[in-house]
Structure 1
Amino acid sequence: MNEKIFRDPVHNYISITEPLIYDLINTKEFQRLRRIKQLATTSYTFHGAEHSRFSHCLGVYHIASRVIDHFEKHYPQDWNQEDSLLAMTAALLHDLGHGAYSHTFEHLFDTDHEAITQDIITNSQTEVNAVLRRVAPDFPDKVASVINHTYPNKQVEQLISSQIDCDRMDYLLRDAYYTGASYGQFDLTRILSVIRPHGNGIAFTINGTHAIEDYLVSRYQMYMQVYFHPASRAMEVLLQNLLKRAKKLYSAQKDYFKRTAPALIPFFENNYELKDYLSLDDGVMNTYFQMWMQADDAILADLANRFINRKLFKSLIITDESQTSLAEMKHLVSAIGYNPDYYTAKHKNFDLPYDIYRPEKENPRTQIELLQKDGSLIELSQESALVKSLTGTVHGDYRFYFPAEMLETDDLFQKEKEIFINYIQNDYLL
């Protein structure tokens, strides 16, 4: 096969030399990722964030291939080259199961993108599976085992999923580029020069400590400033409540939804197959929402209009003091004619920027290990005071969302709105 080149705004040239990788890219399941936004509703806040899961998966593959080239050249005694193709394949396919408006959809319809990724890889009816089986009959299962963290060689797993992996390194750089958030940048070249296989995992030589610090601070900043932005979360709340209303109406209006949202029927009925899941993408969903803007149901139509035309809810950080007022605030929302089940929501976003390995946890993290000059390992936060300050600390907030109309006082409901405003006047409003 001749070398295939993808021109990428983050990595410049992404070179494909393995026929398997190129054939996987050309499957319909992988091409579907072009129609799934990487950051879902974030483009309503950062208008440049229109990039796709397709470009991200290519980026993760590219970083993984660079790491593997580095391992094969400098550490052939510590890296099993028989796992090289497997690692690159898992990197390419790691997000294959993400769906339309992924996390919001998952929450409402109880889907699991990691489980669906494994299903696409191992299901004999998919084009991806047919390509993988050309390597060996058990190759799809090996790729799936990397995704579900059961593959015996943890070096491969940690390249794809750990606290500093190819997935995170690409999405931080890519999301920073497309959102215009310069604080998401870090020195990828330096990190890739100090990474190495070590034992049954991945380590970094200690002279790369500052580059890793920079990566972790960049990750922290991206979560606080981009991923947890209150306006993006307001769009998530609108989307969640819109789909919740449609799901509620379905049993009494089946014919309407069969006409306006046929691909959602299996999910309303909780009886979907893989082909149903793969038939959905962001464009399909947006078309349904535009149809619902003309619905007879006033709530469905209004929420669809708010989502399509970016009519955001406002939000308030929930504190111990405001927590006691939420019931009354929801009552006031109801008093002016809004159903609080669909026009209010509590939404929390919290992140743990870095933590050490804690075996007692249900899902313990793989800590970042530094290789010292004498050959021994030291955990990152023991070497870095900066990282130590982030270790084990949770950051984020908990918000109450409500219609922006609650802040207007020039109509018949002036009294109710003034009472509402009085509840929030001492809290942080966005």
Structure 2
Amino acid sequence: MITIVCKNIKYLPKEKVLRDPIHNYIYIQHQVILDLINTREFQRLRRIKQLGTSNLTFHGAEHSRFTHSVGVYEITRRICDIFVRNYPSHNPTDGLWNDDERLVALCAALLHDIGHGAYSHTFEHIFNTNHEEMTVKIITSEQTEVNAVLRQVSDDFPAQVASVITKTYPNKQVVQIISSQIDADRMDYLLRDSYYTGTNYGSFDLTRILRVMRPAKEGIVFDISGMHAVEDYIVSRFQMYQQVYFHPVSRSMEVILNHLLQRAKDLSRTHKLKSALGTYYLKPFFEGQADLEAYLRLDDGVLNTCFEAWRDSDDEILADLASRFLDRHPFKSVKFTATTANLLDPLRQMVAQAGFDPNYYTAENDSFDLPYDSYSSQTDKGQIKLIQKDGSLSELSAVSPLVLAITGKFLGDKRFFFPKEMLGTDAEVDLLVNPAFRTHLKNDHLI
């Protein structure tokens, strides 16, 4: 455990608040937090949706990475307040909370998602970027406003904040507050995503969980009296992934977005991408020469404007995919398994015979989540541990039959995506001859 040596920690003369539908008030007490929020790099997060294409399924899901990031900050601030009030450290080896760690925890919480790009996960897949690596670059690069603000605390403060993101920071408590199987990040996005999608799957008792969190030498543990609140959180996370994050329509729109960007990239390689707008913003990425400045220029709105320009492209595939994405015309999909996977190639041939290029109009997509991992066979990193009345620690699934039932199980499905136009064609008739696929199509309400 280390103590931060800071040149300059300023408190605001009067705390500022942000109104928030999830946390009511978000309290800002340090000048550095206010200054970070006001940087160019952090304000960019207002223009990046938290759930990517999910707003095309759940129309209320218009919330941004900005709102989530300040929410994670607020949960972290509350955790620090509870820890310093109930579990203050009295010596460096007692495993309790040293409040000198507060500022690095708050800054890491606020900045943990600052490296997310436009339509982040799809963009990362096409252009080989990594949002965590970009987060570290934004924090440590002397070219950014974020770095300048952090260096006002101390010269090595940016590196300390970045080490929390990379999970190399010496204090496990700080790291696990930001990144673990039950952390401020996950707790905020479950509650926030549930609220904005209009679902109740992500609801759990945040207040109770924060009350039973405790610092320990092992990192963060939970009082055994709060086991049922922790169980509820695990189940809520499981339900959100199965019902919201893995929704077939959202995945379909991600497939179209993926193919749209890939088509633009392919055209750029052969100098056939004629849109000046798309070429200007995306050329560095098409050519693999994008720097941090080029990355920070992009947001969801910039990409959407490129897509609008591509509607009028001379390339029929690019124009069609752009229209499908902007006008919300998702592909249809069918579940497949190892038993029915052998039917995918014939289906691709049918799609080609119907006049669609299978490279851009079909896709295999698998979405699986591990609701809880006990890591019992190798390491205890990330385990949720409950502290018993006698001070001993128990891993959650060892004392919770409910959690044990989903521990270590990857849950989700595999889907094959294809143009909706294929339904009602001779290809569909051929497809329905196979009883296995017919069953899947019926289950997915395609017939």
Question: Normalising to structure 2: TM-score of the pair?
Answer: 0.93
Structure 2 equivalent of residue 132 of structure 1: 150
Task: Work out whether residues 277 and 306 of structure 2, in 8 Å CA contact, stay in contact via their aligned partners in 1.
Answer: no
Q: Which amino acid aligns with 1:56?
A: H
Please state how far the C-alpha of 1:418 moved relative to its aligned partner.
1.7
- Determine whether 1:336 maps to 2:354: yes
Equivalent residue for 2:365? 347
Matched residue type, 1:74 = N
In the TM superposition, structure 1's runs of 4+ consecutive aligned residues that sit over 4 Å from their partners are none
The alignment covers a number of residue pairs equal to 423
1:406–1:420 Cα contact (<8 Å) kept: no
SS in 2 for 1:3: strand
Identify the residue that residue 406 of structure 1 maps to in structure 2: 422
Unaligned residue ranges in structure 1 (runs of 5+): 410-414
Tell whether 2:337 aligns with 1:313.
Answer: no
Cα distance in 2 for partners of 1:261, 1:419 equals: 42
The equivalent residue for 1:412 is none
Q: Does 1:426 align with 2:439?
A: yes
Q: Which runs of 5+ in 2 are unaligned?
A: 1-11, 90-95
Report the Cα distance in structure 1 between the residues aligned to 2:81 and 2:212, rounded to whole angstroms.
Answer: 13
CA distance in 2 between partners of 1:359 and 1:321 (Å) = 31
* SS of residue in 2 equivalent to 1:46: coil
Question: Of the candidates 365, 373, 396, which is equivalent to residue 380 of structure 1?
Answer: 396
* Post-superposition offset of 1:359: 6.1
Structure 1 residue 3, shift from structure 2 partner: 1.4
Matching residue's letter, 1:429: D
Whichever residue aligns with residue 29 of structure 1, its letter is E
The equivalent of 1:168 in structure 2 is: 186
Cα offsets for 1:234-264 (capped at 9, x unmatched): 0000000011111111123366143444111
Distance 1:266 1:420 in 2: 43
Matches within 5 A, 1:82-161: 82-161=100-179
Task: Give 1:379's aligned amino acid.
Answer: E
* 2:220 is aligned with 1:202: yes
Provide the secondary structure at the position in 1 that maps to 2:433. helix
Aligned to 2:27: 15
How far 1:323 moved relative to its partner?
Answer: 0.3
Give the letter aligned to residue 327 of structure 1.
Answer: D
Asked if 1:393 corresponds to 2:409, the answer is yes
**1:28 to 2:40 alignment:** yes
Specify the code of the residue in structure 2 equivalent to 1:40: G
Give the 3-state SS of the residue equivalent to 1:425 in structure 2. Answer: helix
In the alignment, the residues of structure 2 paired with residue 260 and residue 390 of structure 1 have an alpha-carbon distance, to the nearest angstrom, of 45
Letter of the 2:438 counterpart: Q
- The yes-or-no answer on 1:74 pairing with 2:86 is yes
When the two structures are superposed, what TM-score results if normalisation uses the length of structure 1? 0.96
Query: Which residue of the other structure, out of 181, 188, 191, is the alignment partner of 2:199?
Result: 181
Distance apart, 1:358 and its partner CA: 4.3
Matched residues in 1 for 2:233 and 2:272: separation? 50
- Tell me the distance in 1 between the aligned counterparts of 2:75 and 2:428: 53
Q: Helix, strand or coil: the match of 2:154? A: coil
Whether the 8 Å CA contact 2:275–2:313 is kept in 1: the answer is: no
Relative to structure 2, which stretch is displaced further, 1-10 or 301-310? 1-10
Q: Look up the SS of the partner of 1:37 in the other structure.
A: coil
The answer to whether the 8 Å contact 1:98/1:117 transfers is yes
CA contact (8 A) 2:350 2:427 kept: yes
How far has the Cα of 1:7 moved from its partner?
A: 0.3
Is contact 2:264-2:273 (8 Å) kept?
A: no
Secondary structure, aligned partner of 2:339: helix
- Corresponding position of 1:295: 313
Q: Distance in 2 between matches of 1:104 and 1:359?
A: 33
**Alpha carbons of structure 1 residues 188 and 323: separation in structure 2 relative to 1, 3 Å:** same
How many percent of aligned residue pairs carry the same amino acid?
57
Question: Which shifted more, 190-199 or 250-259?
Answer: 250-259
Cα distance 1:255–1:224, how it changes in 2: closer, same or farther (>3 A)? closer
Q: Contact (CA 8 Å) 2:275, 2:309: kept in 1 or not?
A: no
Q: What's the offset of the Cα at 1:333?
A: 0.2
Counterparts of 2:18 and 2:406, CA distance in 1: 37
Q: Deviations over 1:59-86 (max 9, x none)?
A: 0000000000000011002111111110
Letter in 2 for 1:386: L
